[in-house]
Amino acid sequence: MARTAIGIDLGGTNIKAGLVAEDGTVLAQAEAKTLAHEGPDAVMGRMAVLAGQMRGKAEADPVGLGVGSPGPLDPSVGQIYFTPNMPGWDGYPLGARLADRLKMPVRVENDANCAALAEHWRGAGQGTKTMILLTLGTGIGGGIIVDGKLVNGTRVTAGEVGHIVINDKGPKCGCGNHGCLEAYCGTAGIIARARELLDKPGTVSMLIEMAGRDFEKLSPALIGQAAKKGDGPAISIYKETGRLLGLGIVNLVNIFAPEVVILGGGVAANGAFIFPAVRDEVKRRAMRPGNEQVRIEAAAMGNDAGLIGAAGLLLH
């Protein structure tokens, strides 16, 4: 009988669970609100309920549960160091609590690392030895695979690519540093650039009306809608985002010489404007021959990447 595993993608808003076959196919899925304000034990309980539902869908008992969790964590023991968007999780033994509740093996890994594993296993990084994934959204997460293995580092916090510093005098980042890639290309950085541009006298943009002249309503999705309608300022915002993102990726290409750099997440949906700028910057600034050989590709696994990669922790 084919082996299966349960994968859970823990997010600040939603928890997604799936029963995953050995070939990476998602056989069943369920979802629940995270309700992080209720605390880690309550969230862990909801995760256990979802895992139980997936267990009930399997023909034979799954080999275990894999969890992709935000925040720096120690995968060797399944303990969360902290989660910036879910207060109260500092030092929480998520893996041990779930294993005790479910009486099954549990593996916990960073959520972006799980997405990287999924892309390497089944997606845009399939068949490569060395690849890097960047997830572009509120923040910028990352996962690095070298010689087919996930890079965790000595303190198991490697892969924080969003905190590459591209300008030490740049805006303050949520991590406390200044000029991080995330501070420029995360949601807040993109909106800040948009507001600065729209505030300039003489700027003509449909974004102003789309936001109802209320710049608090600006979002990457709204800017993307305007760009797709041919709005010049919106297009320029995303081209500049691509250029800045390219600066960070240049460093990654020079250090790791990956075969492919994969861009995923909500912001990457505007890839028609971002990707050419990224590729131009990498081609112009990264060292040869790495700059000539690396591919910049869109993620292929979509919203299921996290749970598929989490299940893969048990299946591979």
Q: Which residues of the chain have pLDDT under 50?
A: none
Tokens linked to 264: 């995923």
Closest CA to 134 of 244, 288, 18: 244
Rounded to whole angstroms, the Cα distance separating 23 from 7 reads: 14
Instruction: Look at the domain 4-117+304-315 and name its fold.
Output: Nucleotidyltransferase; domain 5 (3.30.420)
pLDDT of residue 213: 86
**Chain position carrying tokens 């650039």:** 193
pLDDT of residue 21: 97
pLDDT digits (tens, 9 = 90+) for 197-230: 999 999 999 999 999 988 899 999 999 999 999 9
Total number of residues shown for the chain: 316
pLDDT of residue 143: 95
Tokens linked to 231: 């709005």
Q: Same topology for domains 4-117+304-315 and 127-299, yes or no?
A: yes
3-class SS shares of the chain: helix, strand, coil, % to 5: 45, 20, 35
Rounded to whole angstroms, the Cα distance separating 130 from 128 reads: 6
Tokens linked to 244: 């800045």
Closest CA to 22 of 5, 6, 44, 9: 5
Closest CA to 111 of 34, 57, 211, 37: 34
pLDDT digits (tens, 9 = 90+) for 57-76: 999 999 999 999 988 899 99
Q: Is the peptide bond before 289 cis (omega within 30 degrees of 0)?
A: yes
pLDDT of residue 316: 82
- Rg over alpha carbons for the chain, rounded to the nearest Å, is 20
pLDDT of residue 157: 73
pLDDT of residue 207: 94
Sequence ranges of the domains in the chain: 4-117+304-315, 127-299
What is Dmax (Cα atoms) for the chain? Answer: 68
The CATH architecture assigned to 127-299 reads: 2-Layer Sandwich (3.30)
Question: Which parts of 48-178 are beta strand (E)?
Answer: 65-69, 73-74, 79-80, 106-110, 131-136, 140-146, 149-150
End-to-end CA distance of the chain: 17
Q: Residue 11: what are its φ and ψ, rounded to 5°? A: -115, 170
pTM: 0.90
pLDDT of residue 77: 93
pLDDT of residue 230: 97
**b/e string for 173-195 if b means 16 or more Cβ within 10 A?**
bbeeeebbbbbbbbbbbbbebbe
Instruction: Please name the amino acid found at residue 78.
Output: G
Cα distances (angstroms) measured from residue 232 to each of 173, 251, 266: 28, 29, 21
Tokens linked to 226: 């305007």
pLDDT of residue 219: 95
